[in-house]
Structures are given as structure tokens and as C-alpha cells.
Amino acid sequence: MRTSHKEMRRKINAEVSKITDEELFSSAAFAAYLTDIAEAVTKRYKRRLRVETIYDTSENAMIACTNNRNILINTGNYISQSMPYRKLKAESILGLVGHEVGHMLFTNFRISETYFSELSYGRLYPQMELSEEEQESFTEVTDYFKAGTEAQKQAILKAAKLLLNILEDAYIEARICDRYTGRFATGIHLNNIRFTEMMPSVTEQLTNGCYRFSVFCNLLNQYCRSGDINNRDGYTGELLDLFYDVLPLVDDAIYDEDMKRRCYAVNRILLMVWAYIKEIAEKAEEKENTSEILQKLNKQIPQMAEVPSLNGTPIAAGSSVDTQKYIGGRTEIEEKLRKATEQESGRIPWMKTDDFDEGEEGGVEQNLSYHGAGYSTAGDDISRILTAVAKEKVQEELSLALTEEMQQEAEHIRLGNAHSGIKIIINRMQEIEESYIQQYQSVAPPLLAISKQIQKRLQRVFKDMSFTGKESALLMGRRIEPRLLMDREGRFFSRNRLPSEKKSLAVAVLMDESGSMADQDRVTYARAAGIIIYDFCKAMDVPILIMGHTDDSNVQIYAYTDFDSMDKMDRYRLMDLSARYGNRDGAALRYVAERLLKQPEEKKLLLLVSDGQPAGTGGYLGSAAEADLRGIKKEYTNKGILFVAAAIGDDKENIERIYGDAFLEISDLTKLPFLLVKKIEKELKG
């Protein structure tokens, strides 16, 4: 099965149009893209991380979280999926990554932990003076922590966590947008604007039975995220009045580097809205059901993510947040989102609701000179990732088709009487686990350096072979050089030098994967040889097949790479080369020889790596097995295949007896990779 590069590109282009959001946003390529962008920010603070993705569109599915080492993003979350275009969805997901990076860099987890620890004992942190009205509310709070049920205590703590999360989210997002303008800022603003648009109005929430505390939190969350609230039905009442009362506390806290200021603000707000929280605590007393109350709060108060409970010290914030630039950036993204979605049907209409710019104090100004990064690279990024995902899918399809072709070929090969009743089973990994990639990246660099050295030397040889010019001072020829007629040795002939051609060569490598290969790291050196040979042959445009074999009542062949494979993941498949069971060499050798024989190249080289005599099930061993191997070697040598049998175990005499002039003794295992590549180099030179 041969597939040209042109055909490969055609398949990839056709596949791009078929890729769904789920395939794109849950792909390894997209997760790697998110990791690269996140690490570009965190590496400077010596904080490595990894972004992982899931795709869950179910109701109340999580959106994002972090454990300070990994970030988990649900790319199927309702905010991102509400975006009308794929480009905007990608920007939204980047905003979620930026949000979690913000927590990792700027949230003071120690203060957060101290705050909730103190509150659980009925104490406020930081300590603060209370008004008479606040003291009355706080006394009721402490009474619940002293004598209330566990459900009531958890309900109060949950309310405090929701309030602190809202303020902390606003702080870390402002920090990220101020310091890292561009894709993170764009995504964060997009999410916040969309979050506010999608929030039901106050009247709708109350009609649907939401707790008053939930409605209050949603108003606060909208304001902190977008500077606006969704009050399109013109609600007026106690909730809105209380919301306006807490705004000065919020404005003082959300841009302050000291998290204690936000804890202080939460304490004040908690006591101001205590009547609403008390309603929930009383319901918890009636039902004695903690999970039911908490689930209802989670459902009524949508959040991007909770502040994680972690350890870690925030980085120095440096200068204060440029609030004008932050708000100006939000205004610009708001306008871009409005333009991008103006053709969208069924969308909640945009409405400017309440103006918070009243009075002489405070206020917000637009920074009309701010231009940000907008969407300049988003389209290119998504196009590139789409192509990568499509390429991966095409390669998976081709790899599966290749495996099926090899299996069909194995079923039609006549193995001979020595292998009567034996099946050949082709094994080829269709999906490469991340662990194989990491292992390869760990061990490959020094091995690839060896490959590069031999490549350079061979390329110089080929350059000399391609040299054209005139050879003079020859003893015979048809052309006489007058200037050499006085030469005493009679060297006065010359001729034109024609370029030599590189010999066409195909290489097959068959690795012994019997259990004894585990001894003395034999399989490790065989794996190293495979890595070098694969890299060398690919660089020199030499068709390469590398397979391993073992015997567990049937012949198991492990196809790492094949002549027809265009899959760049083959190099990682080589990390699976292992010591397994027995070895029925004859069947595996015949299969690989048949596959090599079909190659059109002028020269065909078959390298065998083995640590001993054949020892397969069903009595395949001893003189009968040796005779089988000698017969196979003779048959395919007559058909034009050059054999090299590398002996790397203690059974060298028997291997030499089997393969004769093809025998290559490897007394030093460390030289195995180099010596095998030298054999290939020799055949290329011709």
C-alpha cells in the first residue's frame, strides 16, 4: 500500500472539513497548543505545567480547574460552546487557561486557607471592628458554628467561598489581562461578556425559585466580570439596593494585591447579606442534607471555576493594575464580539442596563488608544491545529489499512512444514501513548547525534560521486592532451568523468524479542539500534522496515515501521521493543523477507538481531529449526536479498553455523547500533 505525499495532502485537506468541535478541542494537538501558550507565561517563574482537555457538554459539567501543576479544561463547557464561530470558541478556551494560570501565579492560597479555617471556628480573618448591626449578624454566625448542624456550617462556608471566589476571580483576571495582553486577555474578556449576556435577569431568577443570596451573587459576579449587569426587565427592589451598597467594598478590593483586602471585603459583604445566607442555613436545618443545598447553590450560581485549595506563594504583582487599560480592553473586545455575532439568530439581545458611572466620585473612562492583540493569530492557530488533527486522523487510517494489508499478506504466505498450524499475527500500535513519546525524547538525543555524524560523512561521499569534470594524465584513451605530450611515462590521454549514481537500497530489520533479550540489557541496545537505523534511513531516503518477533504458540510480529509508512509516530513505536516470550525465527524471517522482496530497489538488505538459537513452541528448536533457517537464508539469498545476522548473546557459534557468511559477531553490545548502520552505509556506497 503506497501513498504519495500528494495523496496524503489531499486526504488531509478532505479530512479538515469533517473535523467536529469535539475532535478538535479534545485533541492532543490542541492540548499541546494550550500547554505551549500557558508555559510561555509560567516558565519564567520556574513553574512548569501541563494543560489537559476533556469535552463534556452535560448540564452542570465542570468548566476548568487546576492543582497548581496541571490545568484541566472542559472544552465543551457552555460558555465556549455558546460562541458562534470556532475561532471564538478557541479564544474562549484560551481565556479559561489564562484564568487558571492567573490563580497559579497570583492567588495567595495560604491566606485563603487561613480565612476559611478561622471562619469554620466562628472567627473573622483578618480581625476587624464591627458596627453594632454587623456585630449582631456576626453573633448569629458564630452561634451556627457553635451549635448548628453540619449542613448549616457547610452552607455558611459555601456562601463565603462563593463571595471570595467572585472577588478573587476578578483580581487574578485583571492581573493576567494587565500583564499579558493578547490571547489570554481577549479570551477572558470574551468569556466575561458572554457570561453576563447569558445570565437570566433578576426577575427570571426569582421566578425560578433561586435563593436571594444566589441572585445577589450573580449580580456581583456579572459586575466583577464585565462591569455591567443583566437587568433587561428593569427590576428595582431590595436586592438591587443591597448590590449597590456593597459596590464600594468591591471596587476597593478587586484590584488590590493584598488578598487580605478581599477577605476583609467578603467579611463585610457576608454580614451585610446575612439575612439571605440565614435563609439557606435554616433550610439546611430542615433537610439535614448538605449535598442537596450545595448542589442547588452550584446550579443557581454559575462559575468559571472555584478558587483551588492549594499551597503556593504568589509571584510579586509589581505595579498596580492599569484599570483604564483593563476596562478599555474589555470595551474593545465587547465591540468585536458584537460585530462577530450580529448575524447570529436566537441570541440574547445586547442591552446596556444600569449605569454605574453616576456621581462625581470614581467612574470609568474608555481608553480609545488601546488596540490589544485582538484575533490576529487565532485563525492561523486553529487552521494549523485543524491540519494537525486531520493529519493525525489520516495517519491513523493509513496505519490501520497498513496493518490490515500486512495481516492479509501474512495469511497467504506459505511458511513450510516446520510451521504447520502456526499463524502469524501482526501487532501495530494505532495510538501512541504519551509515555512512549516522553521515553523517546529522553533517550534519543545522543543516538540521533550518531546518526547525524554518519549522514554527514555519507553525504560527502555522494557529493564526490556526483562530481563531473575531466580526468587527465591517463596511460590510455581516445583523447590526447597536447600539453602532456612530453610526459616521460606516456600519460598524455584524458577523458570526461561521468557522475556516479547512488545505489538504490531497501533495508529490513528483524529484531529478536524473546525473553532472553532481557539479559544484559540486550533489548535496550537493540532498541537503540532501531532508533539510529530508523533516523539514518529516513534522512538518506532509504525505505526502512523494522519489526520484532516472538512466539506464544503463534508468531507475534510487532510492526514498528514499514516501507510504506508515512507516519512520523513510528519513531515512538520503537520504544515498545521488548523482551517477551519464545522465538520462532523461521516464520518471522520468511514474512519479512517476502515483504522486502517486493520492494523495487536495486539492493535489498535484511538485518537480523538475535541472541540465540530458535526456541519456539511445538518443538521448534535444535537441528530441525536450524535447517529451516538455513533453507530460508539460501532461498532468499538466491532471490537477491543480502543477509546480515548480528549475534548479541552467548550463542554466537550456533548463529554462525546457521547463517555462515552473513554472521556478524557483536562482542561489545554498545557497538551494535553503530555497526549495523555501518553495514547500511557500506551498501549505499555500493
Specify whether 454 is located in the same domain as 483. Answer: no
Name the domain count of the chain.
3
Is residue 155 predicted with pLDDT exceeding 80?
yes
Whether residue 550 is predicted with pLDDT greater than 90 in this model: the reply is yes
Predicted confidence band at 509 (pLDDT cuts at 50, 70, 90)? very high
Whether pLDDT at 82 is above 80:
yes
pLDDT (0 to 100) of residue 568:
85
Residue 113 has a pLDDT of 93
Question: With 80 as the cut, is the pLDDT of residue 229 above it?
Answer: yes
Name every residue whose Cβ is closer than 8 Å to that of residue 208 and which is 6 or more positions away in sequence: 200
Residue at which a domain ends, from 352, 379, 406: 379
- Confidence (pLDDT) at 364: 36
673 and 527 share one domain: yes
- Provide the pLDDT confidence category of residue 91 given band limits of 50, 70 and 90: very high
Residues 146 and 29 in one domain: yes
- Confidence at residue 394, expressed as pLDDT on a 0 to 100 scale: 67
Q: What is the pLDDT of residue 366?
A: 40
Domain of residue 604 covers 418-458+502-685
pLDDT at 289 (0 to 100): 65
Domain shared by 438 and 488, yes or no: no
- Between residues 343 and 245, the one the model is more confident about: 245
Note whether residue 110 is domain-resident.
yes
Residue 372 pLDDT: 41
Terminal CA-CA length for the chain: 28
| Amino acid symbol at 593 | A
Give the burial class of 122: count Cβ atoms within 10 A of its Cβ; 0-12 exposed, 13-18 middle, 19 or more buried: middle
Give the tens place of pLDDT for each residue, 299-353: 899 887 666 665 656 666 555 566 666 666 666 666 666 666 555 444 333 334 4
Specify whether 554 is located in the same domain as 448: yes
Among the listed ranges 44-58, 182-196, 285-299, which one has the minimum average pLDDT value? Answer: 285-299
Q: What is the pLDDT of residues 377-406, one digit of tens each?
A: 556 787 787 777 776 776 677 777 777 777
User: What's residue 494's pLDDT?
Assistant: 77
Residue 616 lies in a domain: yes
CB proximity list for 591: less than 8 A, separation 6 or greater: 409, 410, 413, 424, 555, 557
Mean pLDDT confidence for 431-443: 92
Least confident span in 11-20, 181-190, 194-203: 11-20
Three-class SS state of 241: helix
Question: What is the model's pLDDT at position 279?
Answer: 93
Task: Decide which of 434 and 498 is more confident.
Answer: 434
pLDDT surpasses 60 at 368: no
Contact 226, 217 (CB under 8 A): no
According to DSSP, residue 630 is labeled: H
Tell whether 370 and 428 lie within a shared domain.
no
User: Does residue 569 belong to any structural domain of this protein?
Assistant: yes
pLDDT classification of 370: cutoffs 50, 70, 90: very low
- What is the domain-level CATH number for residue 633? 3.40.50.410
Are 426 and 306 part of one and the same domain?
Answer: no
> How far are the Cα atoms of 475, 483, 496 from residue 487, in angstroms, in the given order?
10, 9, 20
Confidence band of 363 (pLDDT split at 50, 70, 90):
very low
pLDDT at position 617 is: 82
- Helix H, strand E, coil C: the string for 402-446 is HHHHHHHHHHHCCCCHHHCCCCEEEECCCCCCHHHHHHHHHHHHH
Residue 361 has pLDDT above 60, yes or no: no
The answer as to whether 403 is a domain residue is no
Q: How do residues 101-148 score in pLDDT, each as one tens digit? A: 999 999 998 999 999 999 999 999 999 999 999 999 999 999 999 999
Is there a domain that residue 356 lies in? no
Q: Mean pLDDT over all residues of the chain?
A: 83
Q: Return the minimum-mean-pLDDT range out of 112-126, 500-514, 580-594, 625-639.
A: 500-514
Query: Burial, 575: exposed, middle or buried (Cβ in 10 Å; 0-12, 13-18, 19+)?
Result: buried
CB 39 within 8 A of CB 71: no
Mark whether 193 and 171 lie in a shared domain: yes
Kindly list the strands in the beta sheet with 70-74, ordered across the sheet, starting from the edge strand earlier in the chain: 50-54, 70-74, 64-66
- Same domain (yes/no): 570, 491: no
- Assign 8 a pLDDT band (cuts: 50, 70, 90): low
Which pLDDT score, from 0 to 100, does residue 374 have?
A: 43
Confidence (pLDDT) at 371: 39
Q: 551 and 475, same structural domain?
A: no
318 and 454 co-located in one domain: no
pLDDT score recorded for residue 367:
42
DSSP string for 88-110: HHHHHHHHHHHHHHHHHHH--HH
* pLDDT tens string 516-531: 899 888 999 999 999 9
Position 589 pLDDT exceeds 80: yes
Confidence of residue 98 (pLDDT cuts 50, 70, 90): very high
Q: What is the DSSP letter of 318?
A: -
Looking at the fold, whether 432 and 367 belong to one and the same domain comes out as no
- Residue 121 CA from chain centroid, whole number: 43
292 confidence band (pLDDT: 50, 70, 90):
confident
DSSP string of 364-410? Answer: ----TT----TTTTHHHHHHHHHHHHHHHHHHHHHHHHHHHHHHHHH
* pLDDT at res. 456: 86
Three-state DSSP class for 232? coil
